[in-house]
Amino acid sequence: MGDFKVVRRVALVTGAAAGIGAACAKRLAQDEVMVGVLDLDEPRCAATVEAITSTGRKAVALGADVSRRDQVQRAVAKCRETLGPVTIVINNAGVTDFTPFDQVTEDLWNFVYRVNVLGTFIVTQEVLPDMRAAKWGRIVNLSSSSAQTGSVNMTTYSSSKGSIVTLTRSLAQELGPLGITVNNIAPGSIMGTIMSEANKYRSRLSPEELLKALPVRRLGEPEDLANACAWLCQESSGYFTGQTVGVNGGRVVS
């Protein structure tokens, strides 16, 4: 159970049809948070919504491309009408890329930045009025451990996630006086589509070698992320802002 004693909270989780986003949506619902489950199209969100509503909690499916303001505006409006003002946002939708730097085209660069960076900017701007009105808010952005270390053939992706880290730091300072915290989670080696893709390209390491390189000797599960996400969204985390939370099995230590 979370510690939301005062007001019933509504969260918008992007990229919540699968992987980490779905796990965060389900975990927040356990804390009695109502959840707008957003992904590229509504039908994709059905399984996550069903998993939440079958436990007696409230959730709504929202179809939108986070990099399209008109679509995000419609989705946020539907979320508000169905569940109420949005005071928690998890900017999780993201795309990855493994193209060697000299082969990266401007179209590819722009695509990755549009989803990972512009999408976070648009979604956050669209829900901010609700947080301002409530004088309370929780913003959690998904960055990446590759933003902390850099990664071969991931200049586009890792630099876009670096933007998320610095956006988090600046926004935390801007919104702190309003009762809104802003943090980012930097996952590493979490099972999901992105990790499967990464493994295809990291053929230098066998799965056994990959595990040996991780201090906890296992890959992460989306639920590992979701637990950190849930804590960042609770009332009791109000003194924690502008931070990068590494959920990475010890891949990056600081």
Ligand X SMILES: NC(=O)c1ccc[n+]([C@@H]2O[C@H](COP(=O)([O-])OP(=O)(O)OC[C@H]3O[C@@H](n4cnc5c(N)ncnc54)[C@H](O)[C@@H]3O)[C@@H](O)[C@H]2O)c1
For the annotated catalytic residues, the residue numbers are: 157
Q: Does 47 bind ligand X (CB under 6 A)?
A: no
Report the alpha-carbon distance of residue 119 to residue 67 in Å, rounded: 4
User: Which residues from 112-131 bind ligand X, rule CB under 6 A?
Assistant: 115, 119
Choosing from 11, 39, 112, 184, the residue that interacts with ligand X (CB under 6 A) is 39
Q: Does 15 bind ligand X (CB under 6 A)?
A: yes
Q: Tell which residue, 231, 232, 239, has the closest CA to residue 1.
A: 231
Task: Kindly tell me which of 128 and 229 has the beta carbon lying closer to ligand X.
Answer: 229
Total Cβ atoms within 10 A of residue 205: 12
The residue count for binding ligand X (CB under 6 A) is 29
Task: Kindly tell me which of 119 and 137 has the beta carbon lying closer to ligand X.
Answer: 119
Q: Does 158 bind ligand X (CB under 6 A)?
A: no
Choosing from 11, 83, 88, 95, the residue that interacts with ligand X (CB under 6 A) is 95
Q: Does 63 bind ligand X (CB under 6 A)?
A: no
Choosing from 194, 210, 211, 214, the residue that interacts with ligand X (CB under 6 A) is 194
Between 65 and 84, how does the x/- string for binding to ligand X read (CB under 6 A)?
Answer: xxx-----------------
Least separation in angstroms between residue 20's CB and ligand X is: 4
Q: Does 214 bind ligand X (CB under 6 A)?
A: no
Amino acid type, 232: L
Q: Does 142 bind ligand X (CB under 6 A)?
A: yes
Least separation in angstroms between residue 240's CB and ligand X is: 20
Task: Kindly tell me which of 14 and 183 has the beta carbon lying closer to ligand X.
Answer: 14
- Are 208 and 110 a contacting pair, CB within 8 Å? no
Question: DSSP string spanning 28-79?
Answer: HHHTT-EEEEEESSGGGGHHHHHHHHTTT--EEEEE--TT-HHHHHHHHHHH
Return the range that interacts with ligand X (CB under 6 A); candidates 2-10, 76-84, 90-98, 210-218: 90-98
Chain residues binding ligand X by CB under 6 A are 14-15, 17-21, 39-40, 65-67, 92-96, 115, 119, 142, 144, 187-190, 192-195
